[in-house]
Amino acid sequence: MKKLKKLQEYREEIEQCVKCGACRAHCPVFGAEKHEGRVARGKVALAGALLDGEIDLEKKLLEDMSQCLLCGSCYAQCPNKVPTEEIVAAVRREIAAKKGLSTFGKGLTSVLKNPSLMNTLAKTGGVLSSLLFKKLPADSGLRLRFPAPFISGDRTLPPIAAKPFREQHPEVIEGQPGRPTVAFFTGCGINYMYPAIGEALLRALKFIGVTVIIPAEQGCCGLPAVSAGSGDVVEALAARNLKALTARPVDFVVTACASCNAGLGKIYADLEGEYADLAERTKDIFVFLVEQGLPERLAVLPASAEKVRVTYHDPCHLRTRGITREPRAILKALPQVEYVEMEAAGSCCGLGGTYSVYHYETSKKIGAKKAGHISASGADTVATDCPGCIMQLQDSLNHAGEDVRVCHILDLLMDVLPEEAPA
Ligand code: SF4
Ligand code: SF4
């Protein structure tokens, strides 16, 4: 396995920044804070100064580097394709190597690298749910009853699954002969908080006759460890997932989480060799379903008398990698959906992994803008393709007092697909 790149290996990319400022208009943190240190060119300049020994790991550098969602919006708009999110992640690894991980980073990574500990914590949280959380009106989530470290008391959280998704299913679910076989990489969000999304994915794959493998030994994709600055944990999780996902022959690996898709499809590609092969075979579920002709097959479902007005939020980890058409194609093919495009559908929701833990106030400001766009679209439902975005959108809409359903596109598919696959 090739190791994740060190900061010095980004010198060429850092020098490609011509300080044109084209990234300013697209950085959600700059949009909320209007502070030069928050925008890509400021961070790239600081990374260059650190590399040249002009500055040390001083407080300003630590603060500016933590003020990044790693969303990639700047990269997508940069004329010179400076990969700021990768450079910031490399600086965070440099900081962690020299100063150690933050308290939250240490706790997070020790749970991430130990799936059985994560399972135990999730099950304990599920059992103690009514003690720890109070329900919000209209089933729009939970809030903590008591103050807890790193979680704001006014943050909306999803319920924890009574039983993790992967424990509810066998490892192999046979499809129809001659159809592809896929491994389902569930990610932590679906496994522990949103198992219904996983159920809907199985229903969709059954509808088109695909055989599904759900490897029990898979772990977190590693993206939260990228955000926390722990390269070692990212590499250990990649090794675990490579073993789990290639134990049986599969045609593709599918994900229903934008962050997991970026973890497997982008971060693993940088590890080269077998990891790059795995990255190549990883597909977002809607890319796979469109390639398998699902929109055409949905056209034969009975028309719905009642329509729901649905808009789509583009998760940054898909949008910045060019996956925007397929989720919309599935939504528009659903018989119960009247699709409306919201303004700035591609703007970040403000979650950014560990970002919203450290900078919840800014995260809320970014989320408030998104809630405004959703509300202005007139949609009854906002659908997306990422459990993390679902959690943040629900939080933002609750703060805005907007009664809009937040769901995964797969939840809408589940509403119309028959339980039994067609012969
Ligand atoms: S990061 Fe890209 S868009 Fe931003 S100032 Fe540098 S060259 Fe321009
Ligand atoms: S990755 Fe996102 S948050 Fe970070 S500098 Fe670029 S646009 Fe701003």
DSSP 235-249: HHHHHHHHHHHTSS-
Collapsing DSSP states into helix, strand and coil, what is residue 382? strand
Cβ(87) to ligand 2 under 6 A? no
Cβ(351) to ligand 2 under 6 A? no
Torsional class of 229: left (φ above 0), alpha (ψ -120 to 50), beta (otherwise): left
Amino acid present at 101: L
Predicted confidence at residue 226, as pLDDT, reads: 96
CB 363 within 8 A of CB 352: yes
Distance in Å, CA 44 to ligand 1 centroid: 9
Cβ(21) to ligand 1 under 6 A? yes
Which stretches of the chain score pLDDT less than 70? Answer: 147, 149-150, 423
Closest ligand 2 atom to residue 73 Cα is 7
Residue 313 CA to residue 381 CA, distance in Å, equals 11
Ligand nearest to the CA of 69: 2
Predicted confidence at residue 169, as pLDDT, reads: 97
φ/ψ (deg, to 5) at 79: -65, -25
Mean predicted lDDT score pLDDT of the chain: 93
Maximum C-alpha span of the chain? 68
Predicted confidence at residue 149, as pLDDT, reads: 67
Distance in Å, CA 42 to ligand 1 centroid: 9
Q: How many helices (H) and strands (E) does the chain have?
A: 24, 11
CB 284 within 8 A of CB 255: yes
Q: Can you point out the beta strands (E) in 230-307?
A: 252-255, 282-284
Question: Other C-beta atoms within 10 Å of 52: how many?
Answer: 10
Predicted confidence at residue 147, as pLDDT, reads: 64
Residue 174 CA to residue 242 CA, distance in Å, equals 22
Atom 6 (ligand 1) nearest CA: 17
CB 42 within 8 A of CB 67: no
Distance in Å, CA 23 to ligand 2 centroid: 8
Distance in Å, CA 22 to ligand 1 centroid: 6
Gyration radius (Cα) of the chain, Å: 21
Predicted confidence at residue 16, as pLDDT, reads: 97
Atom 2 (ligand 1) nearest CA: 78
The domains of the chain, with CATH numbers, are 7-99 (1.10.1060.10), 300-416 (3.40.50)
Reference 344, options 23, 16, 25; nearest CA is 25
The secondary structure element, H or E, covering residue 384 is strand 381-384
Predicted confidence at residue 86, as pLDDT, reads: 97
Ligand nearest to the CA of 44: 1
Closest ligand 1 atom to residue 44 Cα is 1
Collapsing DSSP states into helix, strand and coil, what is residue 304? coil
- The whole model's pTM is what? 0.95
Which letter does DSSP use for residue 350 in this model? S
Distance in Å, CA 71 to ligand 2 centroid: 6
Cβ(18) to ligand 1 under 6 A? yes
Tell which one of 43, 68, 321, 356 to mutate to probe ligand 2, the residue whose CB is within 8 A of the most ligand atoms.
Answer: 68
Distance in Å, CA 1 to ligand 2 centroid: 28
